[in-house]
């Protein structure tokens, strides 16, 4: 993804456990990580590095309107996205992933908080998490800074080319056609008969011979 990630604060993961958190020693199967954005953003991409998380659900808290006092509500963008083909094996456990807005169930616009719900049903791994989280904002199509500088130097199609000093292209084309026609006529009139250099009726004239 080109561009810089938006400013955000990644909070510490919170474990969801059933029972006494002090006495129970089993590993929790669900962690929740909240990312608070510096200002409401239209999200284009969420990238991260996996660390033994099997499934990921992405929820966003977004404003219904464009003002600061607009009501906000939670919406699920991605549900149970598979990061590991098999929770009990290593495949995908430490890979980098990107989730784009085209993959999301709802448009992530005017988002203030992103919530990552991580699940690992396997007891093989002692811990799991989502690391190196980056969020990128959707680019504005009408923004002039998004247009490459080299595009502004291209000659417009409708601008006529400067042909001053060059021969008339129609005259050149006509001359080439005439030369081509003349070549065809000469090739068609060629004979295959062999013409000798000095012989006349199969004999040589003594005056045409030279001595060395």
Instruction: Write out pLDDT tens, residues 163-209.
Output: 666 667 667 666 776 776 677 666 666 655 555 555 556 565 566 55
Assess contact for 35 and 116: CB atoms under 8 A: yes
Distance from C-alpha of 124 to C-alpha of 28, rounded to nearest angstrom: 12
pLDDT at 155 over 50: no
In this structure, is residue 37 part of a structural domain? yes
In this structure, is residue 208 part of a structural domain? no
Report yes or no on whether pTM surpasses 0.85: no
Q: Which one has a higher pLDDT value, 60 or 17?
A: 60
Q: In this predicted structure, what is the pLDDT of residue 201?
A: 60
In this structure, is residue 161 part of a structural domain? no
Q: In this predicted structure, what is the pLDDT of residue 197?
A: 55
Q: In this predicted structure, what is the pLDDT of residue 68?
A: 73
Beta strands per DSSP E along 43-174: 43-51, 55-63, 72-82, 96-100, 111-119, 129-137
Task: Report the CATH number that the domain containing residue 102 is assigned in CATH.
Answer: 2.60.120.260
Assess contact for 47 and 96: CB atoms under 8 A: yes
Q: Which one has a higher pLDDT value, 99 or 27?
A: 99
In this structure, is residue 171 part of a structural domain? no
pLDDT at 71 over 70: yes
For the chain, the domain total comes to: 1
Nearest Cα residue to 105 out of 60, 151, 155: 60
Mean pLDDT for the chain overall: 79
In this structure, is residue 173 part of a structural domain? no
Confidence of residue 141 (pLDDT cuts 50, 70, 90): very low
Domain residues for the domain of 87 are 8-139
Q: How many helices (H) and strands (E) does the chain have?
A: 1, 11
Q: Which tens digit of pLDDT belongs to each residue from 102-129?
A: 999 999 999 999 999 999 999 899 899 9
Helix%, strand%, coil% for the chain, nearest 5: 15, 35, 50
In this structure, is residue 102 part of a structural domain? yes
In which element (H, E) is residue 170 found? helix 169-188
Q: Which one has a higher pLDDT value, 28 or 101?
A: 101
Question: Token pair 């129970």 is at which residue?
Answer: 24
């Amino acid at each position: 993804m080109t561009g810089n990630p938006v400013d955000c604060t990644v909070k510490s993961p919170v474990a969801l456990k059933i029972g006494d958190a002090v006495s129970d020693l089993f590993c929790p199967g669900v962690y929740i990580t909240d990312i608070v954005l510096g200002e409401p953003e239209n999200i284009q991409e969420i990238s991260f590095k996996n660390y033994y998380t099997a499934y990921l659900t992405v929820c966003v808290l977004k404003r219904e309107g464009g003002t600061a006092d607009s009501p906000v509500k939670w919406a699920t963008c991605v549900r149970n996205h598979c990061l590991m083909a098999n929770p009990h094996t290593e495949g995908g456990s430490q890979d980098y992933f990107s989730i784009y807005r085209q993959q999301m169930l709802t448009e992530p616009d005017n988002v203030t908080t992103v919530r990552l719900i991580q699940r690992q049903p396997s007891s093989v791994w002692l811990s799991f998490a989502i690391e190196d989280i980056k969020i990128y904002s959707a680019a504005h199509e009408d923004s002039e800074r998004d247009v490459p500088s080299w595009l502004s130097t291209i000659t417009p199609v409708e601008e006529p080319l400067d042909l001053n000093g060059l021969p008339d292209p129609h005259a050149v084309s006509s001359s080439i056609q005439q030369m081509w026609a003349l070549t065809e006529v000469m090739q068609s009139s060629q004979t295959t008969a062999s013409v000798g250099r000095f012989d006349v009726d199969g004999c040589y004239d003594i005056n045409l011979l030279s001595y060395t």
